[in-house]
Structure 1
Amino acid sequence: MIRKHLALATAAAAALAGGLIAVVTTAGPAQAATISQPLRTMVANLPVATEVRTGYDRDLFNHWIDADGDGCNTRYEVLIAEATVTPSVGSGCALSGGRWLSYFDGATWTDPADLDIDHLVPLAESWDSGSRNWTAAQRQAYANDLGDARALAAVTDNVNQSKGDQDPAEWIPSLASVRCRYVTEWTAVKTRWALTVDTAEKNALVTYAAACTNSTVTVETMIGGGTTTSPTTSPTATATGGTCTGSNGTDVTIPDAGSAVTSTITISGCSRTTASATSAVYVNIVHPFRGDISVYLYAPDGTYYVLKAASSSDSAADVITTYTANLSSETANGAWRLSVRDNYSGDSGYLNTWSLTV
């Protein structure tokens, strides 16, 4: 069973394929970009934009999925993880003997049917705030986000229904003692997924946060700026000032069984003439089946290195890892390109972030 960290696995290094120039070995798994800020600062940094509901349909968010194939979908993974008394898990993931506390209203329950799994930032609210521009794979990842305990919560069903798709300007838990928790979690989820807030929502969050302890909130981000670009776009990030490291957080959609997409990091001013024998390439790709994905790194002179080959036998999700590459024969400074392709039909995804240390 999975909970709180969905498919953060290390991708296996590719074997040398015919005609390819180099093989890159895999280092240990790396984390996505993180943001740590005091609560009030994180609230202040939420971007304000007008909400747009046009085109919303709940069916555009595929949920609940059984990501690890153990017979328990996302709803049940949350129930198992949040139980105050651990339930027995029977056939078909039937739960018995468990006990749950709904933090919204302080009620306790022993029947899972009395609980809903709340998307803390509702699906419709996420649509209004930016997910309308995402791919289907991004919306599925959001709707089943087990990677952050704040994203989904088991709560009393009728309380969840009374909340509906309202933001904190319109709805807040009845228990005053949990409001700071709720505001913190709302802010964390919005930050994690680079979602905007409207003016009334921002004002409400600022007011509530002012009455809370200004504790540091740490978020592992999933969306690099919330911008999706077409496959023909090649976003560029530049590293300057003597550094030999660069990163690119502009989302690039990876079309289903389509052409390769590229993202570029330009290293400029690196103090070393040549790249390192232990260069590091961190890659964060969101995709339902990482086995569909192949990843290549192109050096400034056009030489390419296989970071990951596609494998039909690998049905796990996402590629979130750091690869170690011997790039000592390459010039450090110049434009380095990451090329990503979905080799099988059925699902699309996106390149979230990548970084390069040469």
Structure 2
Amino acid sequence: MARTLRLAAAPGRSGRSVTRTRIAAIATAAAALAAGLLTVVVAAPAQAAAVSQPLRTMIANLPVATEVRTGYDRDLFNHWIDADGDGCNTRYEVLIAEASTAPSVGSGCTLSGGRWNSYFDGATWTDPADLDIDHLVPLAESWDSGARSWTSAQRQSFANDLGDARALAAVTDDVNQSKGDRDPAEWMPSVTGVHCRYITEWTAVKTRWGLTVDTAEKNALTSYAASCTNSTITVDPVIGATPTRTATPSPTSTGGACTGTNGTDVTIPDAGSPVTSTITISGCARPTAASTSTVHVNIVHPFRGDVSIYLYAPDNTYYVLKSASTSDGAANVNTSYTANLSSETANGAWRLSVKDNASGDTGYLNTWTLTV
């Protein structure tokens, strides 16, 4: 019996030093393909979807968790690096990008003739030495709210994030030092007119990197946001995102199609046993699933090539939605797969099985939706 699945194509991987070892799950998928059980249709590579939400909604969606400082060391966040090898490290890249008057760039990335405005306190400077590069969400704060579980490469990426202008800011050095590692419940810029900008950027960075907030922090963000324009914020997730989640599976039936969503986070252990998440479909108008059934999967993982995904029907027949691939070095799985499930009973417990097939990093299944 042929199974038709839509799988993501694998772009080339680069810059990855961790040795990858394929294990039994990959061999199982290969055997199924060789036996003619699966017909694969290649689609465009899955991309991490941008998150666009009004400010107050994005704040409301920030997950709350107790902060944990145990084990923190600033040296665990390698900075400043020269990522593009042009002689200017991250500090100088930010200074060049944020200058109100562009500086001349000399040997060794020496800057002269520039002018900078520190938005925290409204001060203007012409000497780069008077400015610090602020991690808008401080390194210690990121550790407390999730970065302690990251790899060293992820912490380095966070500490040198030039991919979002909100992550790093050139500000007066002693103002940055007075801020320290405090969150908006404990510290805000002295210029009240920039408070909305500050909490917007704080929220964007926390969302971009999948970081949590503590109760006091969330209350402060919510309170400040009440006086701000509820503008839509767009964020490109790196580690993860915080979309609106369904706490429990919620099957529905419309026009003969049945849909269920499970939004309970499930941790995917590093090179560990498969984890599963279940959606129970009931009350479908037709007894069997559709030939164009869809499975939308949102997995947060720094290297999606490590991940294999199987769908188990109520009778325990499995469908390979995604095999692991050592050539795919992009982050996250946020895509829909199309499967011919017409031989399956629609009603019953459907299980998504996710496995990390290589060592070096962890992730989590954020949410998945099944329409049969």
TM-score when normalising by structure 2? 0.68
Determine the structure 2 residue equivalent to 1:312.
326
Deviation at 1:152, TM superposition (A): 0.7
1:300 aligns with 2:314: yes
Provide the C-alpha distance between the structure 2 equivalents of 1:312 and 1:300, rounded to a whole number of angstroms. Answer: 31
Deviation at 1:212, TM superposition (A): 2.4
Which amino acid is the alignment partner of residue 10 of structure 2? A
Q: 1:185 aligns to what SS in structure 2?
A: helix
Deviation at 1:310, TM superposition (A): 1.9
Kept after mapping to 2: 8 A contact 1:60/1:139: no
Residue segments in structure 2 that go unaligned for 5+ positions in a row: 1-7, 12-25
Provide the C-alpha distance between the structure 2 equivalents of 1:88 and 1:245, rounded to a whole number of angstroms. Answer: 59
Deviation at 1:116, TM superposition (A): 4.8
| Matched ranges for 1:68-147 at <5 A | 75=90, 79=94, 82-83=97-98, 102-106=118-122, 116-128=132-144, 130-131=145-146, 134=149, 136=151, 140=155, 143=158
| Alignment deviations for residues 240-282 of structure 1 (CA, whole Å, 9 cap, x no partner) | 3556222223222222222222222222333343333333222
Provide the C-alpha distance between the structure 2 equivalents of 1:35 and 1:11, rounded to a whole number of angstroms. Answer: 26
Kept after mapping to 2: 8 A contact 1:223/1:251: no
Residue of structure 2 aligned with 1:17, choices 12, 17, 30 = 30
Q: 2:181 aligns to what SS in structure 1?
A: coil
Deviation at 1:166, TM superposition (A): 0.9
Residue of structure 2 aligned with 1:149, choices 164, 175, 188 = 164
1:198 aligns with 2:202: no
Q: Which moved more, 1:299-308 or 1:82-91?
A: 82-91
| Alignment deviations for residues 65-102 of structure 1 (CA, whole Å, 9 cap, x no partner) | 89xx855899479739954688999999x697987654
Provide the C-alpha distance between the structure 2 equivalents of 1:50 and 1:289, rounded to a whole number of angstroms. Answer: 27
1:261 aligns with 2:261: no
Residue of structure 2 aligned with 1:171, choices 187, 194, 202 = 187
Kept after mapping to 1: 8 A contact 2:179/2:187: yes
Kept after mapping to 1: 8 A contact 2:309/2:355: yes
Provide the C-alpha distance between the structure 1 equivalents of 2:104 and 2:314, rounded to a whole number of angstroms. Answer: 56
Which amino acid is the alignment partner of residue 156 of structure 1? V
Kept after mapping to 2: 8 A contact 1:274/1:328: yes
**CA separation of 1:211 and 1:142: change in aligned 2, threshold 3 A:** farther
Deviation at 1:335, TM superposition (A): 2.0
Deviation at 1:183, TM superposition (A): 2.0
Provide the C-alpha distance between the structure 2 equivalents of 1:317 and 1:102, rounded to a whole number of angstroms. Answer: 34
Aligned sequence identity (%):
63
| Alignment deviations for residues 268-309 of structure 1 (CA, whole Å, 9 cap, x no partner) | 333343333333222233333332222222222222222222
Q: Give the greater-gyration-radius structure (CA).
A: 2
Deviation at 1:31, TM superposition (A): 5.4
Provide the C-alpha distance between the structure 2 equivalents of 1:143 and 1:137, rounded to a whole number of angstroms. Answer: 10
Determine the structure 1 residue equivalent to 2:251.
239
Count the aligned residue pairs: 336
Provide the C-alpha distance between the structure 1 equivalents of 2:131 and 2:138, rounded to a whole number of angstroms. Answer: 16
Determine the structure 1 residue equivalent to 2:21.
none
Determine the structure 2 residue equivalent to 1:6.
none
**CA separation of 1:81 and 1:134: change in aligned 2, threshold 3 A:** farther
| Alignment deviations for residues 329-353 of structure 1 (CA, whole Å, 9 cap, x no partner) | 3222222222222222233333233
Residue segments in structure 1 that go unaligned for 5+ positions in a row: 1-9, 228-234
Q: 1:19 aligns to what SS in structure 2?
A: helix
Kept after mapping to 2: 8 A contact 1:225/1:250: no
Q: 2:297 aligns to what SS in structure 1?
A: strand
Deviation at 1:189, TM superposition (A): 4.3
Provide the C-alpha distance between the structure 2 equivalents of 1:256 and 1:48, rounded to a whole number of angstroms. Answer: 24
Which amino acid is the alignment partner of residue 171 of structure 1? W
Determine the structure 2 residue equivalent to 1:230.
none
Deviation at 1:182, TM superposition (A): 0.9
**CA separation of 1:283 and 1:80: change in aligned 2, threshold 3 A:** farther
**CA separation of 1:226 and 1:216: change in aligned 2, threshold 3 A:** closer
Q: 1:177 aligns to what SS in structure 2?
A: helix
Which amino acid is the alignment partner of residue 12 of structure 1? A
